[in-house]
Amino acid sequence: MLRKVIPALLAAGLLSGAAGAAQAADKIALVVSTLNNPFFVTMEDGAKAKAKELGYDLIVLDSQNDAAKELSNVEDVLGQNIKVLLLNPADSEASKASVRAADAKKVPVITLDRGVNGVAVTSHIASDNVAGGKMAGDLIAQKLGGKGNVVELTGVPGTDAARDRSKGFQEAMAAAPGLKLVASQTANFDRTQGLNVMENILQAHPAIDAVFAANDEMALGAIKAIQEAKRKIIVVGFDGTKDGVEAVKSGAMFATIAQQPTLIGSLGVEAADKVIKGQTVPASTPVPLSVIKQ
């Protein structure tokens, strides 16, 4: 009797294993511009939580702000039988190569926070960066009564987020002719570079009333430089990261334009789920902005 039971149990185990393999979770990939930025770490957290909730295997790779590394990451995940690529581009122009690589494998692409120029994607999920930049400029104009010397710290050149935030900010500046832009330099969305660039600007310009930094990391670097120079200058950041919000609460930063990175990541996975199920997704999904200020 035992001889008959053992083969039966083995067969049942094999069948169960085969069924488990057949039911393995579909894979989605998230290729992020950099995880050396709290904003994108929070976006990753949102994507991971939603993927777990919906039963997907989420692969996350960091491109370290390098378009060549990004393409290598994309080629890597395309070889892992992913169903959808979530892409936070390292460069809005150079990242066309990543989208084309996915297209060649017939893998849908959903871009998060930043877009890619000149190629079609399945969906784009992001805040309105032009509107956000204008919100920041309007805050500065209101705080200064429409008059004063202003500095702009811009983000990574080549990203549409950096370009659009600057565009919106410049629109607000143009509407307040009493404001004078005395310096506009990139600090590549990086806190240390924000510190170093601001130190140089402070040395070159003895009269500065406000700074707009296109993300909170640069803003926090600029604040440190301002504090060390013992100057009184209002600073407006962008993103609404945990550190940025804390700086506003403490009084070190005047305001930040808050995005919702957790929601961007979550919406990305939700859109991927719909695509996998053959459902229609919108070409563009705007994620609301809000102002956090003293």
Q: What is the pLDDT of residues 133-188, one digit of tens each?
A: 999 999 999 999 999 999 999 999 989 999 999 999 999 999 999 999 999 999 99
Mean per-residue pLDDT over the chain, rounded: 93
Asked if residue 7 is part of any domain, the answer here is: no
Question: What is the domain extent for residue 174?
Answer: 129-258
Q: Same structural domain for residues 115 and 204?
A: no
- Cβ-based neighbours of 207, under 8 Å, separated by 6 or more: 149, 182
Q: Same structural domain for residues 153 and 89?
A: no
Provide the number of structural domains found in the chain: 2
Instruction: Return the percentage of the chain with pLDDT > 90, whole number.
Output: 91
pLDDT at site 24: 77
Asked if residue 221 is part of any domain, the answer here is: yes
Summarize pLDDT for 102-114 with one digit per residue, the tens.
Answer: 999 999 999 999 9
In the chain, where do the E strands start and end?
Answer: 27-32, 57-62, 82-87, 109-112, 123-126, 148-154, 179-186, 210-213, 234-239, 255-258, 284-286, 290-293
> In angstroms, rounded to a whole number, what is the distance separating the alpha carbons of residues 57 and 61?
13
Q: Domain holding 174: CATH number? A: 3.40.50.2300
**Residue 5: pLDDT above 50?**
no
Please tell me the pTM assigned to this model. Answer: 0.82
Q: Same structural domain for residues 93 and 120?
A: yes
Q: Same structural domain for residues 227 and 245?
A: yes
Average pLDDT estimate for 186-203:
98
Nearest to 80 by CA among 105, 49, 99, 54: 105
Summarize pLDDT for 277-287 with one digit per residue, the tens.
Answer: 999 999 999 99
Residue environment code for 96-115, b if the CB has 16+ CB neighbours within 10 A, otherwise e: bbbbebbeeeebbbbbbbbb
Asked if residue 13 is part of any domain, the answer here is: no
Q: Same structural domain for residues 227 and 182?
A: yes
Asked if residue 249 is part of any domain, the answer here is: yes
> In angstroms, rounded to a whole number, what is the distance separating the alpha carbons of residues 211 and 234?
6
Q: Same structural domain for residues 106 and 176?
A: no
**Residue 18: pLDDT above 90?**
no
Which residue type is seen at 2? L
Average pLDDT estimate for 201-218:
98
Average pLDDT estimate for 79-100:
97
**Residue 2: pLDDT above 50?**
no
**Residue 12: pLDDT above 60?**
no
Q: Same structural domain for residues 147 and 252?
A: yes
**Residue 4: pLDDT above 90?**
no
Q: Same structural domain for residues 150 and 246?
A: yes
**Residue 21: pLDDT above 50?**
no
Helix (H, G, I), strand (E, B) or coil at 284: strand
**Residue 22: pLDDT above 60?**
no
Asked if residue 8 is part of any domain, the answer here is: no
pLDDT at site 254: 98
Q: Say if residues 87 and 58 touch (Cβ distance below 8 Å).
A: no
Q: Same structural domain for residues 115 and 165?
A: no
Quickly count: other Cβ atoms within 10 Å of residue 53's Cβ.
12
pLDDT range class, residue 23, cuts 50, 70, 90: low
Q: Which phi and psi (to 5°) does residue 20 adopt?
A: -65, -40
pLDDT at site 186: 98
Asked if residue 1 is part of any domain, the answer here is: no
Summarize pLDDT for 216-227 with one digit per residue, the tens.
Answer: 999 999 999 999
Summarize pLDDT for 54-77 with one digit per residue, the tens.
Answer: 999 999 999 999 999 999 999 999
Instruction: Return the percentage of the chain with pLDDT > 70, whole number.
Output: 92
**Residue 16: pLDDT above 50?**
no
> In angstroms, rounded to a whole number, what is the distance separating the alpha carbons of residues 88 and 112?
5
Q: Same structural domain for residues 184 and 68?
A: no
Task: Calculate ∠ Cα 235-237-239, nearest 5°.
Answer: 165
Helix (H, G, I), strand (E, B) or coil at 213: strand
Asked if residue 59 is part of any domain, the answer here is: yes
**Residue 8: pLDDT above 80?**
no
Asked if residue 2 is part of any domain, the answer here is: no
**Residue 9: pLDDT above 70?**
no
Q: Same structural domain for residues 265 and 122?
A: yes
- Percent composition of the chain: helix, strand, coil (DSSP 3-state, to 5): 50, 20, 30
Which residue type is seen at 274? K
Average pLDDT estimate for 245-263:
97
Q: Which residue is associated with the tokens 């809000």? A: 290
Q: Same structural domain for residues 133 and 224?
A: yes
Q: Say if residues 151 and 205 touch (Cβ distance below 8 Å).
A: yes
Token pair listed for 55: 């039963």
Q: Which phi and psi (to 5°) does residue 111 adopt?
A: -90, 145
Token pair listed for 71: 């393409």
